[in-house]
Amino acid sequence: MSYDTILSTTNNGITTITVNRPNKLNALNKVTIEELHKAFKAANKDKQTKVVIITGSGEKAFVAGADISEFADFDVKNAEKLAGEGQKMLFDYIENLSTPVIAAVNGFALGGGLELAMACHFRVASDNAKMGLPEVSLGVIPGYGGTQRLPQLVGKGRAMEMVMTAGMIDANKALDYGLVNHVTSQEELIALAEKIASKIMRNSSVAIKGAIKSINANYKDGVDGYKTEIKQFGKCFGTEDFKEGTTAFLQKRKAEFPGK
Ligand code: COA
């Protein structure tokens, strides 16, 4: 599939999706959000894809936010629609994807850009990365899940301060906060994400799917995460991957998971 504002390539089990509007610091406009949805959907369906990495084009930005020029003249109704549809189509969609998604934050991740990174299953960053939710400096609040996911990742007090000050934190502070899992140089960033992806790929994709669902259940209103875990744990016992994993262990060999 070809896109206007993103790139998507698949190699060795990894689909790398790149937001490709470097002249606008990869800001997310309507088309980009729709194309990202399509690319994630296609990657999740693709049997070759075991892990998705999302990054930004160029050396300056991951994504510098939602495209401000697109919503500057919105009214209350349009703004609610923008946030509601965007959350459903992209941010919640990524969070609940059964294929693991790693954000490789290669520069500015601001507003919708940080919200995009936070919707991914985890994040790695380059040492030049800068992260923040600057929306209140524009007279608005984060609308793509930022007020919910930032406190989940860094704690309520830090999230309050970041949102209220509209400030940016650097990669090392983000590491200290637990917002990103690893920091490396910009040149090494994709290689690092791919190295982690290759470790993930050695494991059972069906078990990973159940684990993502169970971990996410902890953060969903009205859902009992322990019950979700029990259900998903049980489900594993009916899979070919479980048979292969346990048999391989007992036979002292490496498991070759069929992914079923
Ligand atoms: N929406 C739309 N366009 C954006 C954008 C955004 N969120 N972020 C950057 N751009 C555009 C700029 O308008 C500029 O376009 P132009 O060359 O056509 O004028 C281009 O990207 C380069 O950005 P510029 O501001 O010139 O780069 P800089 O290095 O001086 O500053 C930032 C970098 C990230 C500090 C600055 O671009 C910025 O503050 N962006 C907005 C961040 C934000 O508030 N995001 C949350 C949105 S809800």
- SS3 label, residue 184: strand
**pLDDT on residue 217:** 98
- Rounded Cα distance between 141 and 134, Å, is 8
Q: Which of 70, 85, 95, 115 is catalytic?
A: 115
Give the pLDDT confidence of 208-223 residue by residue, as tens digits. Answer: 999 999 999 999 999 9
Cα(184) to centroid(ligand 1), Å: 24
**Token reading at 104:** 């490789």
Which residue owns the Cα nearest ligand 1 atom 45?
65
Residue 32: what are its φ and ψ, rounded to 5°?
Answer: -60, -45
The predicted structure's pLDDT at residue 43: 98
User: What's residue 1's pLDDT?
Assistant: 80
**Nearest in space to 259 (alpha carbons), one of 40, 47, 97:** 47
Determine which helix (DSSP H) or strand (DSSP E) holds 64, and give its type and residue range: none
Residue ranges around ligand 1 (CB below 6 Å): 24-25, 27, 64-69, 108, 110-112, 134-135, 138
Q: Does the pLDDT at position 115 exceed 90?
A: yes
Ligand 1 atom closest to residue 137's alpha carbon, by position in its atom list: 44
Whether residue 104 contacts residue 197, with contact meaning beta carbons closer than 8 Å, is answered with no
Walk across the sheet containing 168-170 and list its strands: 61-63, 108-110, 130-132, 168-170
Burial code of 180-198, b = ≥16 C-beta within 10 A, e = fewer?
Answer: bebbbeeeebbebbbebbe
Query: Rounded distance, CA 230 to CA 99, Å?
Result: 21
The chain-wide mean pLDDT, for the chain, equals 97
CB 260 within 8 A of CB 244: no
| CA 161 distance to own-chain centroid | 23
Segment 238-243 mean pLDDT:
98
